[in-house]
Amino acid sequence: TKERLYQFYDLVKSSGLKEFEKAIETFRNWQKQIMNSFGYDLHNGFIEGLNNQTKVIKRNAFGFKRFDRFRLRVLLHHQYKYIKFRVA
């Protein structure tokens, strides 16, 4: 994969298009992360989904006056049922 990426760099460099040269500069800056994305089957989609759901609850829960109740609502939505919590 790395060899093909270097071939792509050379092809873009030989084309002489300045827009592509800027894109190649970005690719080179992020090359380690790009190569890792091909090598490992990891992503943060699950966490991004949890964050999005929490933001939606936050948007709809403007009436909560106590943070601990809001926190419980978020945890309940994400099905964390066995959290030890004491409501004072």
Mean pLDDT of the chain: 81
Angstrom distance (rounded) from CA 39 to CA 31: 12
Quick check: 49 and 77 in contact, CB under 8 A?
A: no
State yes or no: pLDDT of 29 exceeds 90. Answer: yes
Burial class (CB in 10 A: 0-12, 13-18, 19+), 70: middle
Sequence ranges of the domains in the chain:
2-38, 44-79
Angstrom distance (rounded) from CA 34 to CA 48: 19
Higher pLDDT, 61 or 74: 74
pTM, rounded to two decimals: 0.49
- Place 88 in a pLDDT band, splitting at 50, 70 and 90: very low
Proportion of the chain in helix, strand, coil states, percent, rounded to 5:
70, 0, 30
